[in-house]
Amino acid sequence: MATIYIDEDIGKDEPSQQGTEASPYKTVQFAYLQHPAEAQYLTRKSESADDETAKEWKPAAKSALKKAVNFYEQQKKKAAREQELAVQRQKEEAERAKVLEEAKKIVIEEDTSLPKAVKIKLDETGPHVKLRNGQDAESKGTRVRVIGRVHRERKQKDVLFVTLRDGYGFMQCVITGQLAKTYDALTLTRETSMEVYGEMFEVPAGAHAPLNRELHADYYKINHEWKAAGGDDAITNRVQAKGDPSTLLDLRHLTLRGEVASSVMFVRDAIEFAFHQAYKETRVRKVSPPALVQTQVEGGATLFKFDYYGEPAFLTQSSQLYLETCLPSMGDVYCIEKSFRAEKSLTRRHLSEYTHIEAELDFITFDDLLTHLEHIICRVLELTLADPVIAGYIKVLNPDFKLPERPFKRMKYSDAIEWLREHDIPNEEGQPHTFGDDIAEAAERRMTDIINRPIFLTHFPVEIKAFYMQRDKEDPRVTESVDCLMPGVGEIVGGSMRLDDYEQLMAAFKREGLDPAPYYWYTDQRKYGSSPHGGYGLGLERFLAWLCKQHTVRDCCLYPRYMGRCTP
């Protein structure tokens, strides 16, 4: 038996060490793991000790050696257990391989003597889809054919329960007998597409399934190309609910299959439809302005510039100016189009490409504009929540959501400045707010969250608003402008009355240092029968973030575009 050397100063706990006096280990524990139950273990401190006797080789302390022995025994038992598990896994894998080989021999075919199946979506109900009462052996149901992707699956004894998803709903399928023993059934992975035939039954009392029904399969089909990846490439491994946000956005095409992301998209679809319906009810007509423009609306710093057949052009920041040109011929108009802002901002409420709901209304007053805005917002919510399926999604996403009470709180900018001062909410420089400050997002949201109700913040100073806004006749320092603020998200709508006087508009161009010549098609509106008119722009993603209680607008569009991201 050998003597093992441990030097606490110059030794190394590495397998390359030999444990000799010339090649010592650093700790007793590591030394014992490498050379258990040797004759003796000698330790020393060769350099750091002041006492010369400490530099001599001495037997390891009994307590240190006892700990090393105990640790060694624990590792020995652990290794033995791992070996047992490895053998067990190997045995199970061999048995599974044998079962799978047998499963490959099972061929299933549709019973042509059964009634022809009716193809339905997974959420379909009605007299054409008759359920079978499981308690009544004589009852008959409609034989149906459904196609969907595997949302989840579980096996209970010899019964396979598969929940399918098709974008319209969910359906639980019960697969039994030989159908549950095929290779496809035994290797079924989430997101695999399936075509299932069978009869639908009411679920037994106390059981639960989507729409309280389940399809008892008599045949199913999975084409080779329909199968989803499994193992390390399984979707559950690649996309995880609390994964890195950047990774989830890189895999947005897969993230969208999740319940939260798809629910937000369903609500978005319903909201857009509701806007169309609400505008139709109020006789506001839809138009489609261009996205490629050669004039600016909100400032040159946020323009995306590109070469347009040798001429400079931009992606539109807003369709407002074009909507105004439609008023004389079409009356009130709206559009739901993309807008683009090249802001170098990475806040949770900014996007470089977003869906802009804009409207312009003719022959109105500022009060008319606010009344219209309040009606449209509330009517869209009423229409959306009238759909029980969409209302269910919203209830899950935002359990505490309630329809906003009317009338919305109306607060002038000057009153908001005083409110912020009274509540010790400073401006961006850390100073008390003063008239003329552009109220920052953080302060605006804090005020909205404290008041906790929708706010029409109105009458902003001329200097901090766009050139085309009408001044208040009673206070020419401010504009007839409005931001609609919602708790939790801040501004979702910005609007104003528009300058309708030609000379005043020309003065505004001059004040902003803009050449009016390229805007001739806009300024002509004031030369050929002007009118008092106003409008607004609503960010759909911000509206959704508020309604669905999403932390960021990035989760409220299909594929978000913001500074640094233009993929996938």
Q: Chain-wide mean pLDDT for the chain?
A: 93
Is residue 219 predicted with pLDDT exceeding 80?
yes
> Which residue range forms the structural domain that includes residue 419?
259-556
Is residue 5 predicted with pLDDT exceeding 90?
yes
Quote the DSSP letter at residue 387: S
Task: State pLDDT tens for residues 107-121.
Answer: 999 999 999 999 999
CB 141 within 8 A of CB 201: yes
% the chain with pLDDT above 70 = 97
Q: How far apart (Å, rounded) are the C-alpha atoms in residues 468 and 511?
A: 11
Confidence of residue 507 (pLDDT cuts 50, 70, 90): very high
Cα separation values, 367 from 114, 370, 418, 497, Å: 67, 5, 23, 10
Task: State pLDDT tens for residues 68-88.
Answer: 999 999 999 999 999 999 999
Indicate whether 395 and 344 sit together in one domain: yes
b or e along 268-279 (b: 16 or more beta carbons within 10 Å of the residue's beta carbon)?
Answer: bebbbebbbebb
Residue 319 lies in a domain: yes
CB 116 within 8 A of CB 162: no
Place of tokens 């894998």: 93
Indicate whether 430 and 542 sit together in one domain: yes
Indicate whether 160 and 36 sit together in one domain: no
Instruction: Cite the DSSP H helix spans in 434-562.
Output: 441-451, 502-512, 520-523, 540-547
pLDDT of residue 421: 95
Quote the DSSP letter at residue 548: T
**Whole-prediction pTM:** 0.84
Q: Supply 122's token pair.
A: 């997974």
φ and ψ at residue 285, rounded to 5 degrees: -95, 145
Task: State pLDDT tens for residues 348-360.
Answer: 889 999 999 999 9
Residue 266 lies in a domain: yes
Is residue 137 predicted with pLDDT exceeding 90?
no
Q: Residue 169 sits in a domain of what CATH number? A: 2.40.50.140
φ and ψ at residue 331, rounded to 5 degrees: 80, -155
CB 171 within 8 A of CB 163: yes
Q: How far apart (Å, rounded) are the C-alpha atoms in residues 242 and 247?
A: 11
Indicate whether 211 and 264 sit together in one domain: no
Indicate whether 212 and 294 sit together in one domain: no
Place of tokens 């299959």: 257
φ and ψ at residue 393, rounded to 5 degrees: -60, -45
Q: Residue 375 sits in a domain of what CATH number? A: 3.30.930.10
Residue 377 lies in a domain: yes
Residue 98 lies in a domain: no
Q: Who's near 476: CB < 8 A, 6+ residues apart?
A: 462
Is residue 50 predicted with pLDDT exceeding 80?
no
Indicate whether 190 and 278 sit together in one domain: no
* Continuous segment of H or E residues that includes residue 30: helix 28-34
- Of the listed ranges 5-19, 52-66, 483-497, the one predicted with least confidence: 52-66
Q: Supply 294's token pair.
A: 């050669």
In this structure, which amino acid lies at residue 518? Answer: P
| Number of folded domains that form the chain | 3
Indicate whether 47 and 149 sit together in one domain: no
Indicate whether 41 and 177 sit together in one domain: no
* Of the candidates 201, 192, 149, the residue with the CA atom closest to the CA atom of residue 174: 201
Task: State pLDDT tens for residues 555-567.
Answer: 999 999 999 999 9
C-beta neighbour count of 46 within 10 angstroms:
15
Residue 449 lies in a domain: yes
Domain boundary among the residues 16, 50, 76 is at 76
Indicate whether 228 and 297 sit together in one domain: no
* Of the candidates 503, 501, 509, 482, the residue with the CA atom closest to the CA atom of residue 493: 482
pLDDT of residue 286: 98
Indicate whether 284 and 215 sit together in one domain: no
Angle formed at CA 100 by CA 98 and CA 105, multiple of 5 degrees: 105
